[in-house]
Structure formats: structure tokens, C-alpha cells
Structure 1
Amino acid sequence: MINDKSPHILNASSNLLGLCFVVLTSLKFLKISEKTMIDETVAMAIVFFMLSCLLSFLAIRGNIKVGSRYKDIADLVFIGGLMILFATCMLFVFNFIN
């Protein structure tokens, strides 16, 4: 089946989208978002994961030819969001962002 990865991309990106919202809300609640760049990078990851959710949903709902294109783009956007989260974590761990 051509859309076999789309439900997995949708599931993973929606879970990571929720995690990003929790992190962003926690930073705002603790009033430490002004001191760090973490909220900006997490906001970028939110955009990537939301786009990945939308594209993978459209891939599931669309026809086979267009759905395959959406699935491929959603896959790349999802990897981009993961790279943003990874870079944020590494910068935080090595004290480049406080």
C-alpha cells in the first residue's frame, strides 16, 4: 500500500507537536523564555511538526498519486523538525543556550 507510512508520520509528529507545546508552555509559565533561545527553536519545531501533521493527513485522505507526494514532503518536514529538536537539545546540553 502506498500510504503505509502516513499514519506513522501523523502519529509521531502529533506526539512531538504536543511535547513541543508542553515545553513552550512551561517556558512561558516559568517566565524563562526571555532569557533563552529555546522558545524560538521550539516554535520552529512546532511549525515543522504541524506542517508534517497536515501533509500526512492529506496523504491519507488524498488519492494515490497526490498522497504519495504529500507523504514524501511530510516525511522530509518531519525529519527537519527532529533535527531542530536535536540541535536545540545539543545546544542546551553543551551550554550554548542557557
Structure 2
Amino acid sequence: MKQVKKLSFAFAVTTALILSGCGKDAKTSGTADKPLRVVTDAAYAPFEYLDNGKIVGFDVDFTNAVAKEAGVKIKIVNTGWDPLFAEIG
């Protein structure tokens, strides 16, 4: 039983150490000034739609709020439905 506890503890510590090394600080990654590109198909009001050439709606407001809270700059781009999946990769 003690051996199982020791192995579980060792596994948890190893996993924590590996995962802590996976992240990058935005200041050191070189992408702090480059905005993240968010693509959408702005044809589904009230979630996202075009209003005088500007993308507006609930999803846009929500995405902007999350980006502001995370301290990330974003750029929302309207694409069609078919090219949307090509933009994900």
C-alpha cells in the first residue's frame, strides 16, 4: 500500500513539473504585440453579425471581455462558413 502511495505521489509531482514547463510567458514568446486572430462567420444575429461593416454581437462582446481579462490583444475577422475550418489549422 505504501508503494502505491509513493508511486502516485511521484507521478503527480512528475506531471506537475512537466506541465509547468509547457507554458510560455507572452513577454518572452515574442507574440505579445501581435494580436490573436479570431475568425467567425458573422451571419448569425444576435450572436455575431455585420452592422455597417463592423462585426458586432454577443459573441464579439464576450470574446472582447475575455481577451481584456486575459490581457491579450485580438483581431476579429469575418470569414465564410466553408473557409472557417481552413482558418482553424
TM-score normalised by length of structure 1? 0.26
Higher RCO (CA-CA < 8 Å; seq separation 6+): 1
Return the TM-score normalized by structure 2: 0.28
Larger radius of gyration: 2
More helix by share: 1
The structure richer in strand per residue is: 2
